[in-house]
Amino acid sequence: MTPESEREFREYVEASRATLLRMAFLTCGDWHHAEDAVQNSLVKLFGAWNRTRRETVDAYTRRILANVLVDQTRRGWFRRERSYADLPDRPGETSRGDDRAEAAAVLARLPLRQRATLVLRFWEDQSVEETARILRCSTGTVKSNTARGLKKLREHYATLNPAEQGSKR
């Protein structure tokens, strides 16, 4: 890699790391694991930097990150995280920090691929096709994961607040 390419790579890391960290955290639910996943992903990106087109590098990086997160899950890294990320008993009376924890805990109830799908679709505003490309799955899988993820969230909130859910119908 030329010094110029290395400089570009460093600039890319600095410009994208906050976004990638948030995306990883939303997907895995743990900041430490998110940091590991982002660093591992960027190391992989470094190896492919000279072959990566700048106009597609964001999608490529997200694909690497999604795969790293899924691989981590396959190894069982996040099983512990779910147990301590359980929802507080009284979610309505929370401080700002508790609010974040509650939101993270709600998301942690979803299987990782559903979370990854929802993060890409509604946090990153990626299309179904782009989400499928990043997650290396079919558009049908993206759709069903989206539908199932939304359903689980809906069911969860219905359990928490049945009166409110009922009034919406």
Partner 1 sequence: MNEDEVRRLFDRAASGPVDVDRVDPEAIVRAGKRGVGRRQIGIAVAGATAAVLALGAAVGIPMTLDEDGEPAAPGGAAPQNLPTAPVDDDFLSQWARSDHGDCPVPDGQTDEQERTAAAYNRTLFEALAELGAEPMGSCLVSRPDYDGLYYDSFQEAYHLEESVAFGGDASASDWALVRGGFWETGGVNYESLMELEECDYNQGADCSWEDTDEGRLLLIEGTRSDFINPDTEEGGSAEYPVVSAFLFRDDVVVTLGLSLRFESDRRAPSIDQVIDIVKSLPVGEDAPETDAPAEGDIADALAAAAEQAIPGIAVETDTAEFVRLDPEVAEYGGPVYGAEATHMVFVLAELGSGETVRLFLQAEQVADVDGDPAEAAALFAQCSDAECETAADGPRDVSVHRTIEGEHPSLTALEYRVGDGWMIGVGVETADGSETPPVDFATLDALVDGIR
Give the interface with partner 1 as residue ranges (CB under 8 A). Answer: 1, 6, 9-10, 13-14, 17-18, 20-22, 25-26, 31, 35, 38-39, 42-47, 96-97, 99-100, 102-104, 106-107, 111, 113, 118-119, 121-123, 127-130, 132-133, 136-141, 143-148, 150-151, 153-154, 157
CB of 89 to partner 1, least distance (A): 18
Q: Largest Cα–Cα distance of the chain, in whole Å?
A: 62
Q: Which one, 51 or 83, has the nearer CB to partner 1?
A: 51
CB 120 within 8 A of CB 134: yes
136: left (phi over 0), alpha (psi -120 to 50) or beta: left
Q: Which is nearer to partner 1, 82 or 100 (CB)?
A: 100
Q: Looking at residue 88, what DSSP letter applies?
A: P
